[in-house]
Amino acid sequence: MTLAKALDLLKSHNEVRVIDTPLDIYLEIPHLAYAEVKKEDGGQALLFTHPIDIKNKKEFSTPVVMNLFGSYKRTELLFGRDVEGVATEIEKLLHMKPPQGFKEKVGMLGDLFAMKDIFPKKLKTRGACQEIIVQGDDVNLYDLPVLTTWEEDGGPFITMGQVYTQSLDGEVVNLGMYRLQVYDKNHLGMHWQIHKDSSHFFDQYQRAGKKMPVSIGIGGDPLYTWCATAPLPYGVNELLLYGLIKKESPKLVQSISTPLYVPEDLDFVIEGWVDPEKLVLEGPFGDHTGYYTLAEHYPALEVSAITSRKKPLYLATVVGKPPLEDKYMGWATERIFLPLLKTNAADLIDYHMPENGVFHNLILAKMKPLYKGHTKQFMHLFWGSGQMSFVKHALFFGEDAPKLTNYEALLTYALNRFIPKCLFISEGITDALDHSSPETLVGGKLGIDFTSLHSLKKPDVIDSALLLERIRPLLPEVCEVTQYMRHTANPITVMSVKKNRSLATTAKMLTSLEPFLRIVVVVDAENNDINNPYMLLWRVANNIDAGRDICVSGSIVSVDGSTKSLMDGFEREWPGDVLCTPGVVDKLKSLSLWDLDTKREQKYQL
pLDDT tens figures, 257-279: 999 999 999 999 999 999 999 99
DSSP assignments along 264-289, one per residue: TT-SEEEEEEEEEEEEEEE--EE-TT
The answer for residues whose C-beta is within 8 angstroms of residue 25's C-beta and 6 or more apart is: 51, 52, 53, 60, 64, 145, 146, 147, 148, 156
Q: Cα 96 from chain centroid?
A: 32
pLDDT score of 112 more than 50 = no
pLDDT of 576:
94
pLDDT of 115:
61
pLDDT of 503:
80
Per the model's pLDDT, the better-predicted residue between 231 and 408 turns out to be: 408
pLDDT score of 507 more than 50 = yes
pLDDT band at 118 (very low <50, low <70, confident <90, very high): confident
Shared fold status for 3-80+119-315 and 464-568: no
Per the model's pLDDT, the better-predicted residue between 201 and 98 turns out to be: 201
pLDDT band at 223 (very low <50, low <70, confident <90, very high): very high
The answer for residues whose C-beta is within 8 angstroms of residue 401's C-beta and 6 or more apart is: 366, 410, 413, 450
pLDDT of 573:
94
**Spatial distance between the Cα atoms of 419 and 400, rounded to a whole number of angstroms:** 19
**Spatial distance between the Cα atoms of 13 and 78, rounded to a whole number of angstroms:** 12
Report which secondary-structure segment, H or E, holds 189. Answer: strand 187-190
List, for residues 83-103, the tens digit of each pLDDT value.
888 888 877 765 545 555 545
**Residue 15: closest CA among 68, 63, 62, 65:** 68
**CATH class of residue range 3-80+119-315:** mainly beta
Whether cis (ω within 30° of 0) applies to the bond prior to 322 is: no
Q: What would the mean pLDDT of 57-72 be, rounded to a whole number? A: 97
**Spatial distance between the Cα atoms of 233 and 192, rounded to a whole number of angstroms:** 16
pLDDT score of 232 more than 90 = no
pLDDT band at 187 (very low <50, low <70, confident <90, very high): very high
SS3 225: helix
Contact present, 488 and 416 (Cβ < 8 Å): yes
Contact present, 390 and 380 (Cβ < 8 Å): no
- Average pLDDT value for the chain: 92
pLDDT of 94:
57
pLDDT score of 280 more than 80 = yes
Does domain 347-450 bear CATH number 3.40.50.1820? Answer: no
pLDDT score of 200 more than 90 = no
Contact present, 399 and 360 (Cβ < 8 Å): no
Which range (23-37, 186-200, 322-336, 388-402) has the least confidence?
186-200
Which range (19-33, 78-92, 209-223, 367-381) has the least confidence?
78-92
pLDDT of 233:
79
pLDDT of 100:
57
**Residue 565: closest CA among 501, 519, 508:** 501
Torsion angles phi and psi, residue 418, rounded to 5: -85, 135
Q: Cα 40 from chain centroid?
A: 20
Domain residue extents for the chain: 3-80+119-315, 347-450, 464-568
SS3 175: strand
**Residue 188: closest CA among 225, 159, 166:** 159
What secondary structure, in 3-state letters, does 56-107 show? CCEECCCCEEECCCCCHHHHHHHHCCCHHHHHHHHHHHHCCCCCCCHHHHHH
List, for residues 460-476, the tens digit of each pLDDT value.
999 999 999 999 999 99
Q: What would the mean pLDDT of 61-88 be, rounded to a whole number? A: 93
Fold of 464-568: UbiD C-terminal domain-like (3.40.1670)
Query: What b/e readout covers 385-396, taking b as 16+ CB neighbours within 10 angstroms?
Result: bbbbbbbbbbbb
Q: What would the mean pLDDT of 398-426 be, rounded to a whole number? A: 96
SS3 395: strand
Dihedral of the alpha carbons of 557, 560, 565, 567, in degrees to the nearest 10: -40
DSSP state of 295: P
Strands 45-48 and 285-286: what pairing?
Answer: unpaired
pLDDT band at 194 (very low <50, low <70, confident <90, very high): confident
pLDDT of 96:
47
pLDDT score of 117 more than 90 = no
pLDDT of 14:
97
pLDDT of 538:
97
